[in-house]
Amino acid sequence: MSDQPMSAESALIHAAEQRELSEPLVPPPMLTSVFVSSGEPDENLAYGRNGNPTWLALERALGAIEDSEAVVFGSGQAASMALMLALGRGRARIVLGRDGYYNARQLADWLRPHGAEPVYVDLQDLRAVERALDGARGVLWAESPTNPLLRVADLAALGRLAAAARAPMIVDNTLATGVLQRPLDLGAAASLCSLTKSASGHSDVMVGAVLTRDPALADELRTWRTLGGGIAGPLEAWLALRGLKTLPLRIERQSATALAIAEHLAGHPRVASVHYPGTCTGTLDVARAQMPRGFGPLLSFELDGGAADADEVVAAAQLIVPATSFGGVGSTWERRARWPGESAPDSLIRLSVGLEPAADLIADIEHSLRTGWPG
């Protein structure tokens, strides 16, 4: 087995299984806070905040996706906080995308007294990124595609700028996951993933992870996790691991359906604009190069109308459920500007495409778009 080349997909499916006779094929979640031990403690099998075999299994599976180490946390934000604390120390500036994940921007602002000064730029503007990194010991916190506008940044180009400035680049890879996009191959020091979304995929757990090939950074993140206490529960880790095994299948199907819906909406008389990495002509070459297997489950579109029109459309759906978040097996949508602090256009609807057949989703969207529309 060990001398046989194995794809990341096979490795991730089998990462946590046992092969010994009479062992359970799928190890159950290790629900304990204390392990029997004496003498010199085993760091993973002594006390539940230091380590748990179920996290280790999840970390092995995650590591197979991007050929890296993985450090699992209790949520994507707990992972972001540990990364910002680990990398911000001794650095003057953290450069973030202006339209990056709202909670990451807020967290960077709140952590200012403990680390680097947040500076916001448009990640599509490479000159602006270069200027922001110039002359400061910095960190580049990138995200692509962003949401809700699904803007694509050239991660390889950003990686080169970060390397030239000796700034570690972090990529928030929650939307694409390591299956569609491999930031560690494009110059990132760490790839961040909220497993709450597509990676676990069933809208029933909150877990996060950092993937890195830098053992010193992985060690530091584990220390922040142990001391800060942002650990994942064993049951959550187990559910995330179970979901992860079907991630490649799910996200490729969701990407294909999302592309079909984006193309359908582009010709719709009620739709003013569609945002999807697979249909945005300005960045299509970059998107194809860095997301060769698909463009992800998330798209958004603006109505030719206002907030009330979008609220009506969202409420009219019979299949798509009104809800936030993304990446689950069931499709959900929301008018994004309902969130305070979100800068999305008033009539923008963000749709997370699930595993329902494309024809069912397009019929539901068509039905919803006819509601309250005289045309």
Ligand X SMILES: *Cc1c(COP(=O)(O)O)cnc(C)c1O
Q: Give contact residues for ligand X (rule: CB under 6 A).
A: 75-77, 101, 103, 172, 174-175, 194, 196-197, 206, 208
> Residue 303 or 349: which CB sits closer to ligand X?
349
Least Å from the CB of residue 7 to ligand X: 26
Least Å from the CB of residue 194 to ligand X: 3
What token pair was written down for 360?
A: 């069912």
Least Å from the CB of residue 224 to ligand X: 15
Query: Among 182, 197, 225, 253, which one carries the catalytic annotation?
Result: 197
Cis, bond preceding 27 (omega within 30 deg of 0): no
User: What one-letter code names the amino acid at 188?
Assistant: A
71 burial type by CB count under 10 A (0-12 exposed, 13-18 middle, 19+ buried): buried
Query: Among 99, 105, 151, 172, which one carries the catalytic annotation?
Result: 172
> Residue 54 or 368: which CB sits closer to ligand X?
54
For the question of residue 276 being annotated catalytic, the response is: no
> Residue 13 or 225: which CB sits closer to ligand X?
225
For the question of residue 245 being annotated catalytic, the response is: no
N-to-C CA span, the chain: 62
Least Å from the CB of residue 79 to ligand X: 8
**DSSP assignment of 80-99, as one string?**
HHHHHHHHHTT-SEEEEETT
Q: Within a 10 A sphere around the Cβ of 97, how many other Cβ atoms? A: 24
> Residue 103 or 226: which CB sits closer to ligand X?
103
Query: Among 101, 222, 250, 311, which one carries the catalytic annotation?
Result: 101
For the chain, state the CA radius of gyration.
21
**Which residue sits closest to ligand X, CB atoms considered?**
76
For the question of residue 185 being annotated catalytic, the response is: no
Query: Cα separation of 129 and 138, whole Å?
Result: 11
Query: Among 47, 49, 91, 160, which one carries the catalytic annotation?
Result: 49
> Residue 300 or 368: which CB sits closer to ligand X?
300
**DSSP assignment of 20-56, as one string?**
STTS-SSPPP---SB----SSPPTTSSBTTT--HHHH
For the question of residue 285 being annotated catalytic, the response is: no
Least Å from the CB of residue 139 to ligand X: 16
User: Could you list the active site residues?
Assistant: 49, 101, 172, 197
